[in-house]
Structure 1
Amino acid sequence: MNAASINTSLREIDDLPSPRGLPLLGNLHQLPPATHHLTLERWAAELGTPYVFRFGTTPVTVWNDIELSHAVMRERPHRYRRYAPIENILKEFGCNGLFSVEGAAWEPQRRLVMQALSIPHIKAFYPTLAAITERLRRRWEAAARETRVVDMTDDLKRFTVDVTSALAFGEDPNTLENERVLIQEQLAMLLPMLMARVNAPFAYWHYVKFPRDRKFDQALIDVHRHIRELMARARARMREEAAAEACATPLGDTAHAPRNLLEAMLALRDAPGSGITDDEVAANVLTMLVAGEETTATSIAWALLFLGSDDALQTRVATSARRVLGGSTVCPSYGAMRELDLCEAVCTEASRLHPVAPYLSFEPLEEVRLQGVRLPAGTKMFMLNRPAMMDPNNYADPEHYDPDRWLHDHRHESASQRGAHEPRAYLQFGAGPRVCPGRHLAAVEMRLVVSMLTANFTAQLATNPADIREICTFTAVPSAMPMRLALR
């Protein structure tokens, strides 16, 4: 029994409260894919947690306890694993990389990715980050001059694809200046299909393919062809540079130092006895592309919901950003970027109210007893994120959008001055050994984009804010984020 257990009379899963379902279907008919996360939260409010619902005949326990979430994440990957259907389906996609891989394969992959996303590496990469942000500014300037409504979510995904590709693979696809870049369109299909298949009552695609499945299969073929071409070009560059270094220093150390994640993975893969395959390298390339695109872009997009409907807040952020940017259109240096706390805070607070990851899903690898409930190995566990972030015991006035609660000076006020503020309740990047390795890069991207936008443009929502809904496509994205931009 672990530290999260409570010594009460032991209950079984069937003893937990449950929403009324149907034979064989369980609660599937009550969980529309796009909004199922909202239904899970509503049931938690009605039934309390833990409760259990059923995917067909499979029970899924639902929890809402921050300390329990931290305890489970601390004990990964040795006592708990991610929800197994996610890994199984990502294996079929050829995308079983650092996000989903379990067991002994995780640790060496983690070391590689952490090195690529380390603060020194991102600091050295900053000029490229700034250049891609300037490219986004030019795109928005053209839209402002033409008085076009901008699909902000699409533009932000283009930005994050360009950043991730340049940082991790040494190649910039420039999706911001090329309207039709197939890789971006193809990547956009992956998470919705993952969500659909994870939630399917059985693996129907093994037996029959619908038009959507056939389109997705072709997109995967094209994406993997693109990735293998990336790998081939990286290997060719590494050979050429190693040969050039050998000619320059015939008696010295000619080992080529990897300059990005892809080169590091290929160097490790090609070392004698590595045990790593090209398929595993490709899976991590695809994982980085998808993760780098979706989560950061969505966090910034949710912040625009509040900036675009609050002129006073937008003016305040613009003044703060212009003070740091000076005469530049984009934050000029990594050091200056660190002064843009408010720009990150507006994104963090937006994702508190609209969490990009509405829940985390796990399974115990052995029988565990949590809060007086016996969970056999393999029991499905959903850990809800939003209820704790909307709890007044964790955050003062939790319904109110208040970026100041995340600012350094505010956090160091006394509890009586600022009210409740429990950062442990904010789990958008996870926790424990498998905390998101890209969290620092995400923070830098948030600061760059929000400061550039507010310093150079005024932005207004082109729709009623009440019409913008959460759509769960594995991550919880806004249904739309159309904006009108004007030059400052």
Structure 2
Amino acid sequence: MTDIASTPPTPSAPLRQLADLPCPAGLPLLGNLHQLAPTQLHLTLERWAAELGTPYRFQICGTPVTVWTDPELCQTISRERPHRYRRFTPIETVLEEMGCNGLFSAEGVAWEPQRKLVMQALSIPNIKSFYPTLNAITERLYQRWQRAAASGAIVEMTQDLKRYTVDITSALAFGEDPRTLDQDGSAIQEPLALILPAVMARINAPFPYWRYLKLPGDRRVDRALKEVHQYVRQMMQRARERMRDDPAETPRHLLEAMLRLRDAPGSEISDDQVAANILTLLLAGEDTTANSIAWAQLYIATQAPLQQRLAIAARAALGSHTVCPDYAGLKQLDLFEAVCTEASRLRPVAAISSFEPLEDVCLDNVHVPAGTTMFFLSRPSMLDERHFSQPEIFDIDRWLRERDTRTGNHDMRAYLQFGAGPRVCPGRHLASVEMRLALSTLLASFEIELMTDSASIKEISAFTMVPDTMPMRLKARH
């Protein structure tokens, strides 16, 4: 196992410096900058990993960036946060500028109190008590799909699923449902969609030009941020009015909990930090879960036996209902979460994780100075026979309980889509519930057909890894 501490090299493997690592050919001064299209970043880094092995480095105007694929090392580094490692610094800088520096990007002492609040809001008991709202929003998703099936319209699934997750996250975060599923355009969803791609572009930019020169795209992003922040501030104001007019012994949602902490004597939390965490939850809740479900639908639509199996399982679990009627019934929908998990193994929404050591460390007999950017690629280890048997095959059964006694490799530690260590994703249970609900509702009532060649669907790096399109035609099942 890789040694995290700064220790002498072993005799058989002398200590290497960053300059000793393999590096793709580049240009003088620019290094590899001209080869790094932001929307294809994960694909470029994966290709270089296959060609050069890992760890390797690439150069950005003379600055080395290291790339790794060892999942055990990523697990260990995740556990060593925040005292020895932090996220890639530009993530916090860019999100701070955008007013979005919440739980995801906060470092050091600012992280712990925010973590407690968000973990409480997204705990299993809270999700269970929130289930009637989840059921009602999923019913609206079903009705939207029913109208599309009746009219023969092609559904852009990524957009419908983002409406679904925005409605759920908004209702959970501040007790108000924007009902974006009832609209073709949304005052909140459309500006939200611009933010994460802008974050991706800015954290990878060699120079923060937008601070000095606003291009048309930057002005669109600024307008989107203004709209979203106004929306969040309105929610904060209404929550304060409800707390004043109808006091409750315990907070009714995440925003009330944050506002109580904000207003407590001696609190060091500001309104800006409250707003940043609400916006972080909106962005994360909308994007990652929606795209994970969309990638799963790609495999379902292109594998008829799988689709039939899921349809039978969904109808057996739901009975006469269009949506799983109660929280207890989710236990019967393991198959649907397994589809999303297996899709995320092959199409990881979290394709790249980034860290920086806060002190000099020795990793794989490489001396890594403090502040060195470290990118971890998640897909190579999930496609490695050492971690998953027959890794190229889409096999949902590898994730189900009845396969616990299987022979062959199944290394859960190589699956890092929800992170690891103290910074593991606090919304993973909510994501599991949404996956089970959306897919079981879809497959119980509709046949789905992909309306484009599956090979033409492109993977896009937009902070998360997303499909550029997922057009489906729905047909009611009888």
Please classify the TM superposition score into its range, dividing by the shorter chain length: over 0.9
SS of 2:143's equivalent in the other structure is helix
Return the offset for 1:149: 0.4
1:288-367 correspondence to structure 2 within 5 Å: 288-367=281-360
Amino acid at match of 1:2: I
Alignment partner, residue 258 of structure 1: 251
Say if 1:61 and 1:219 are closer, same or farther in 2 by CA, change over 3 A. same
Once the two structures are superposed, residues 195-240 of structure 1 have per-residue CA deviations (whole angstroms, 9 ceiling, x without a partner) of 1111111000111111111111111111111111110000000111
**Is the CA contact (8 Å cut-off) linking 1:462 and 1:483 kept in structure 2?**
yes
**Is the CA contact (8 Å cut-off) linking 1:151 and 1:480 kept in structure 2?**
yes
Alignment partner, residue 452 of structure 1: 441
Once the two structures are superposed, residues 315-356 of structure 1 have per-residue CA deviations (whole angstroms, 9 ceiling, x without a partner) of 100111111101000001111112100011111000100000
Alignment partner, residue 56 of structure 2: 51
Return the offset for 1:459: 0.3
Q: Distance in 2 between matches of 1:201 and 1:442?
A: 34
**Is the CA contact (8 Å cut-off) linking 1:25 and 1:57 kept in structure 2?**
yes
Q: Distance in 2 between matches of 1:376 and 1:398?
A: 35
Return the offset for 1:56: 2.2
Alignment partner, residue 265 of structure 2: 272
Q: Distance in 2 between matches of 1:122 and 1:288?
A: 15
Alignment partner, residue 107 of structure 1: 112
Q: Distance in 2 between matches of 1:273 and 1:199?
A: 38
Of 81, 88, 97, the match for 1:92: 97
Alignment partner, residue 252 of structure 1: none
Return the offset for 1:3: 5.6
**Is the CA contact (8 Å cut-off) linking 1:361 and 1:383 kept in structure 2?**
yes
Equivalent pairs counted in the alignment come to: 472
Alignment partner, residue 475 of structure 2: 486
Of 425, 428, 436, the match for 1:439: 428
SS of 1:49's equivalent in the other structure is coil
Return the offset for 1:287: 0.2
Q: Distance in 2 between matches of 1:308 and 1:219?
A: 34
Alignment partner, residue 2 of structure 1: 4
Amino acid at match of 1:380: T
Q: Distance in 1 between matches of 2:185 and 2:46?
A: 38
Q: TM-score, normalised to structure 1's length?
A: 0.95
Larger mean CA deviation between 367-376 and 105-114 belongs to: 367-376
Return the offset for 1:312: 1.0
Once the two structures are superposed, residues 92-151 of structure 1 have per-residue CA deviations (whole angstroms, 9 ceiling, x without a partner) of 000000000000010000000000000000000011001100000000000000000000
Alignment partner, residue 245 of structure 1: none
**Is the CA contact (8 Å cut-off) linking 1:157 and 1:293 kept in structure 2?**
yes
Alignment partner, residue 139 of structure 1: 144
Alignment partner, residue 426 of structure 1: 415
Would you identify which runs of 4 or more consecutive aligned residues in structure 1 move more than 4 Å? 3-6
Q: Distance in 2 between matches of 1:295 and 1:36?
A: 18
Of 103, 116, 121, the match for 1:116: 121
Amino acid at match of 1:20: A
**Is the CA contact (8 Å cut-off) linking 1:241 and 1:256 kept in structure 2?**
no
- 2:366 counterpart of 1:377: no
Of 11, 15, 18, the match for 2:16: 11
**Is the CA contact (8 Å cut-off) linking 1:205 and 1:213 kept in structure 2?**
yes
Q: Distance in 2 between matches of 1:4 and 1:182?
A: 51
Identify unmatched segments of 5+ residues in structure 1: 243-254
Alignment partner, residue 186 of structure 1: 191
Alignment partner, residue 250 of structure 1: none
Alignment partner, residue 164 of structure 1: 169
Say if 1:364 and 1:199 are closer, same or farther in 2 by CA, change over 3 A. same
**Is the CA contact (8 Å cut-off) linking 2:317 and 2:333 kept in structure 1?**
yes
Q: Distance in 2 between matches of 1:23 and 1:194?
A: 28
- 2:451 counterpart of 1:462: yes
Return the offset for 1:4: 9.2
Alignment partner, residue 413 of structure 1: 405
Alignment partner, residue 473 of structure 1: 462
Superposed CA RMSD: 1.1
1:213-252 correspondence to structure 2 within 5 Å: 213-242=218-247
Say if 1:234 and 1:221 are closer, same or farther in 2 by CA, change over 3 A. same
Alignment partner, residue 206 of structure 1: 211
Q: TM-score, normalised to structure 2's length?
A: 0.97
Amino acid at match of 1:484: R
**Is the CA contact (8 Å cut-off) linking 1:238 and 1:256 kept in structure 2?**
no
Once the two structures are superposed, residues 33-55 of structure 1 have per-residue CA deviations (whole angstroms, 9 ceiling, x without a partner) of 11121110111111111100012
Return the offset for 1:57: 2.2
Once the two structures are superposed, residues 374-412 of structure 1 have per-residue CA deviations (whole angstroms, 9 ceiling, x without a partner) of 1111100001100000001111110010111001111x1
**Is the CA contact (8 Å cut-off) linking 1:4 and 1:68 kept in structure 2?**
no
Q: Distance in 1 between matches of 2:467 and 2:415?
A: 20
